[in-house]
C-alpha cells in the first residue's frame, strides 16, 4: 500500500470511526488487562492488616512446599523436554496411520481437568496396580512421593513443549530440505539446522512446561497429596486458616511465575526471536 493510499485509508472507513492507529485494539485489550490485574491487587491489598508478618514466610510448611515444588518442577520439565522434543520432530516429519490419534493424545491433557489426569494416573500407577506393585517390590513408591509429583507434573505439562517445538519444526522444513539437498544427513541436519532455528520455540515450550509444572495442583493432589507442593499447601492452608493466610506461598509462587515470564521474553530477545 502506497503512502497516498495509506493516508486516504486513515481518513475514511474504520480508522476514522475508531480513532486510527491501534487505539481500538488497545481499548479492547485494556479491559482484559485490567481484569487480569484486578485479582492480584485485591488479594495483596486485602492481605494487609490480616496478621501476616515476615515470619510467616519462614514457616516450616512454606519452606517445605517451596522445596518440593522447586526440586520436582525442573525434573518434570527435563523429562518432558527429553522425550517431547523428539516426539515433536517425529510428528512434524512423519506420516503414518494413526497420526491423528497420537496428535490428539498429545493435546488431550491440556483440555482435561487436571484432577482427571490424577485419576488416570492412579489407575495406571497406583499402589494396587500391577505397575505400582512391581515398583513397590523394587523399593519405589509411585504415589505420595517425589516420583508421584513428577509423574503428575509431567503428564499435565509436557504438551506445551511438544506443541511449541512442533510448530518450530514445521516452520523450518524448507531449510532442512535445502540442507539435505547439499548432502547433509538427517542427524547432522537436525543438530546443525533444525535445532538452532527452532531454539526459540523449544525454549518457550520449556519455560511454559516449567511454569505449568510448578503451578500444577489437581493431578498432583490426586497422585501425591503428600509431600505438599506449593499449590497443595495453598489449598491446605486455605481450608484450615482462610484465604489471606495463603499469602506467603502465593507470593512465592507469583514471584517464580513472574520470573519465568520475564525469562521467556529475555531469552526470546537474546536468541533473536521476533516478538
| CA dist., res. 74 & res. 187, Å (int) | 27
Asked whether the beta carbons of 85 and 161 are under 8 A apart, the reply is yes
Asked whether the beta carbons of 121 and 222 are under 8 A apart, the reply is yes
Residues in the chain, total: 275
Asked whether the beta carbons of 85 and 256 are under 8 A apart, the reply is no
Q: What is the pLDDT of residue 260?
A: 80
Q: How many other CB atoms sit within 10 Å of the CB of residue 8?
A: 12
What are the tens digits of pLDDT across the range 183-206? 888 888 889 899 999 988 898 899
C-alpha cell at 5: 493510499
Task: Spell out the residues 6+ positions from residue 17 whose beta carbon is closer than 8 angstroms to its own.
Answer: none
What are the tens digits of pLDDT across the range 105-118? 999 999 999 999 99
pLDDT band of residue 259 (cuts 50, 70, 90) is confident
pLDDT band of residue 275 (cuts 50, 70, 90) is very low
Does residue 163 register a pLDDT over 50? yes
Mean pLDDT of 203-222: 91
DSSP tag of 190: I
What are the tens digits of pLDDT across the range 33-82? 999 999 999 988 887 777 777 788 888 999 999 999 999 999 999 999 99
pLDDT band of residue 20 (cuts 50, 70, 90) is low
Taking the CA atoms of 207, 210, 212 and 214 in sequence, report the sign of the dihedral they define: negative
Amino acid at each position: 500500500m502506497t503512502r497516498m493510499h495509506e493516508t486516504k485509508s486513515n481518513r475514511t472507513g474504520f480508522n476514522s470511526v475508531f480513532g486510527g492507529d491501534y487505539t481500538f485494539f488497545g481499548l479492547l485489550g485494556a479491559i482484559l488487562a485490567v481484569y487480569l490485574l484486578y485479582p492480584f491487587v485485591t488479594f495483596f491489598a486485602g492481605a494487609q492488616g490480616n496478621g501476616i508478618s515476615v515470619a510467616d514466610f519462614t514457616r516450616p510448611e512454606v519452606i517445605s512446599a517451596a522445596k518440593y515444588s522447586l526440586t520436582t518442577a525442573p525434573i518434570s520439565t527435563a523429562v518432558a523436554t527429553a522425550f517431547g522434543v523428539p516426539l515433536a520432530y517425529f510428528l512434524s516429519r512423519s506420516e503414518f496411520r494413526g497420526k491423528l490419534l497420537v496428535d490428539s493424545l498429545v493435546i488431550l491433557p491440556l483440555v482435561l481437568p487436571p484432577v482427571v489426569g490424577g485419576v488416570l494416573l492412579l489407575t495406571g500407577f497406583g499402589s494396587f496396580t500391577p505397575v505400582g506393585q512391581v515398583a513397590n517390590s523394587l523399593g519405589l513408591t509411585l504415589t505420595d512421593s517425589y516420583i508421584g509429583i513428577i509423574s503428575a507434573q509431567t503428564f499435565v505439562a509436557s504438551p506445551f513443549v511438544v506443541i511449541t517445538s512442533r510448530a518450530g519444526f514445521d516452520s523450518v522444513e524448507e531449510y532442512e530440505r535445502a540442507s539435505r539437498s547439499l548432502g547433509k544427513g538427517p542427524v547432522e541436519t537436525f543438530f546443525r539446522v533444525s535445532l538452532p532455528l527452532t531454539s526459540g520455540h523449544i525454549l518457550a515450550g520449556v519455560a511454559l512446561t516449567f511454569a505449568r509444572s510448578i503451578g500444577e495442583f489437581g493431578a498432583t493432589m490426586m497422585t501425591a497429596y503428600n509431600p505438599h507442593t506449593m499449590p497443595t499447601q495453598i489449598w491446605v492452608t486455605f481450608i484450615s486458616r482462610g484465604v489471606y493466610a495463603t499469602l506467603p506461598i502465593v507470593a512465592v509462587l507469583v514471584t517464580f511465575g513472574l520470573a519465568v515470564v520475564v525469562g521467556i521474553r529475555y531469552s526470546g530477545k537474546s536468541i533473536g526471536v521476533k516478538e
